[in-house]
Amino acid sequence: MKTATTFTNAGWDFNNIWGMHNDINSGYPYLLWEAPFTWTGSVSSVWNLQDNWRASVIPDSTARNVIISTGVTHYPVISAGTNANCSNLTIGSGAILTIDANGSLKVFGTNGGN
C-alpha cells in the first residue's frame, strides 16, 4: 500500500490528484488538495525554496493547510519581489512570518494564529 506502482498501475493520477511521500499520511497516498504544507526552515528563510518545505513542495493558491510552526531553525521571509500564495494559513504561537516591503502574500482561504 506504500508503493506508488500499486496505484499507478491501476490508473491513479499522481501528477494532478494524488500524492505519496513518507512524511505525509504515514507514506500512504493522499489527495494533493488535502496535504499540509509545513514550513521546516531547514536550509534558510527563503519562502520559495523547496528544501524549506516538508515534502519539498512550495505552496500555491490551491495549497490548503499551510503551517508555520514554532521551533524551526529559520522562520520564513517573503522577500521583495516574491509573490507568495496559499489557500489556508496557520501560524503557530511564537512562530514568525516576515513579509518584506514589496513582497506579498495572498491567502485565498482562512488564516489563523498569532
Give tens-digit pLDDT for 28-41. Answer: 888 877 777 889 99
| Residue 27 in this model has a pLDDT that exceeds 90 | no
**pTM for this one?**
0.70
Average pLDDT of span 45-57: 90
| Residue 55 in this model has a pLDDT that exceeds 70 | yes
| Residue 48 in this model has a pLDDT that exceeds 90 | yes
pLDDT at 57: 81
Strand partners, 22: none
**% of the chain beyond a pLDDT of 70:** 89
CA distances from 66 to 1, 2, 58 (A): 26, 24, 10
Average pLDDT of span 72-79: 96
Contact indicator for 108, 87 with CB cutoff of 8 Å: yes
